[in-house]
Amino acid sequence: MSKIGLFFGPLKGSVHRVAEKVKAAFGEQEVELVAVNEASAADLEKYNLIIFGISTVGKETWDSNYSNTDWSKFFPNISKVDFSGKTVAIFGLGDHVTYSSYFVNAIGILAKELMKKGATIVGQIDPSGYEFDESEAIIDGKFIGLPIDEDFEPELTDERVANWVKSIKPAFGL
């Protein structure tokens, strides 16, 4: 069995902490953490089982010159890889209070690009347990990945991660 590549960014923040929780829920030996600020298209090609961890920044940040982030540098690599035959899951961090109209949009933006490149995306989540106004991460009535709000709902993170990992393990051959 092959390892799962968990690509995440940025380092040393909430996304990194949640990536560690996802790795622990799968089992330490099953997952290799790969920081997107150090990754390339060739790194993506090594894995047939991939998890992405991404965060959504606020509108005032999107409206400014914000091209220096880990993900903004890594994102072009997605278009260079054929994801056909790859199983992919996404978790994303967002703030459902301050940015309720953009809640975890990065999940949806990433998922749409991955689907264009042939990825099979697993791990959809029913949005009924979340409060928000709008999200690009809602596709066919569900979040296309796992939303996490470490700002206002950190007490729900462990349970949400555990339930999500349990639901996607079969798709990852576990």
Domain total for the chain? 1
- Indicate the pTM of the whole model: 0.92
Is the pLDDT score of 105 beyond 60?
Answer: yes
Q: What is the pLDDT of residue 59?
A: 45
Give the pLDDT score at 30. 93
Residue in 49, 113, 161, 170 with CA at minimum distance from that of residue 105: 113
**b/e sequence 6-40, b meaning 16+ C-beta within 10 Å:** bbbbbeeebbbbbbbbbbebbeeebbebbbbeebe
Which one, of 68, 140, 139, lies nearest residue 104 by Cα?
139
Averaged pLDDT of the chain: 90
CATH classification of the domain holding 152: 3.40.50.360
pLDDT value of residue 60: 42
At 63 the pLDDT is 46
Domain, as residue range, for 56: 4-172
pLDDT at residue 43 above 90? yes
